[in-house]
A and B are shown apart, each in its own frame.
Chain A
Amino acid sequence: MLEARDVKLAFGQTPALRGATLAVAEGEIVAVMGPSGSGKSTLLHCLAGILVPDEGEIMFDGTRVDQLDETRRSTLRRDRFGFVFQFGQLVPELTAEDNVALPLLLGGARRAAAVAEARPWFAKLGLDGLEQRRSGELSGGEAQRVALARALVAKPRVLFADEPTGSLDSLTGEQVMDLMVDSARAQGTTVVLVTHEARVAAYADRQVIVRDGRVHALAAARGAS
């Protein structure tokens, strides 16, 4: 459903990806692990159509993402993908509720409809009562759950998460992972999860390791042992 084929990308003289190949199945949760600087985030950005590789192909639902122009890729990201990063990156001027509603508004929904759709996420993610807070008034774990709601509210086909628990303590990080996995499974969202923490990666169906810009698919799928 989502695939990187022999992807190469360099930042100036620095090769970040040197022939990375990864295929992700519909509804699958894949963890991308590996040392710092190995190319995990770069691979995620290529898969998500944020970066365009120098060589190789990115396929999503039979479309060559790497051949789309920036406008089309931007539309694809908005309509089909959700994103969570290490630091929530909520819009500080907006309330938590408006942050969650934002992707729906950007997708053309009316405000009342967007807010109505955003609201149930607060109960679902244990955020009751925090709807009107701004990001400065949320703890790291709360902000990250708001970011998760925002990433999932428009029912994306793929959720891209780059170190979503990186700034949280282990218990709070696990709450975020529990909610991410449950919500993604409930709506059939495919997840590409970048993390260097094995305990976080253990939530995924499958783990791959990026080393020196290449993907090593070591582990067999869950249950396949």
Chain B
Amino acid sequence: MSAPLAALGLFGDAIDVIFHAREGRAGGAQVGGLSDFGAMAWTHLKVVLASVGLASLIALPLGLVLGHLRRGGLLAVTVSNVGRAVPSLALIAVFIAFLGVGFGNVTLALALLAIPPILTNTYVGVTQVDRDVIDAAKGQGLTGAQIVREIELPLALPLIFGGLRTSVVNVIATATIAPVAGVVTLGDPIFSQAVYGDAGKLAAAIVVALMAIVAEVGLGAAQRAVTPRPLRGTPGITRRARFLPTLRKGAATS
């Protein structure tokens, strides 16, 4: 370990273990180092992308259609409440018990966790589009599909991205449980503290936190970018979504 890092104590040690492999606590194989953490980070990222991608594939169209029809509001809200009430650890445990371990099952479990914020925000985003705007669009001869594509989707995008951001950050954090199901994400050093030691555990936490921050900031920028220009800087959309108490977390967009 280099001198400046040593001065930082455990934190410095954690940084060090990210960059330099060392002997495992339990003896035997080398742990840590860029290739080890890189591989875990890559797996972590893959499982996050796969599960959020799957969740979006389900929640986006469903939210758009339900919102367009202004039906199933109860479903959207219930899903979001159930999603938050069931602890993710329990969810994964149930999945392993019934479906077994592996990347696919973890992805499925995490997707279930990622669906509620996207579904709820998409639904709310579409339903909060001014009814008069929809009426005028219909009255001018736009078809249902054209109204979804050209009016409802663009106007709901800011909220949709808010939901996506919440999902991604949640899943990044929760994917640390994946090693329990045999998928070696950045959660491994945390669960295998016996091998990685305190420094390894802290190092993994730091990398996960960094990932979450990057996702948060990046998607925040994307959210601003997709907000139609004239609607930027008007907090009306966010505020209205927050009025629904059950959506407090799911609809967070700020």
A pairs with B: no
Interface residues of B (CB under 8 A from A): none
A residues within 8 Å of B by Cβ? none
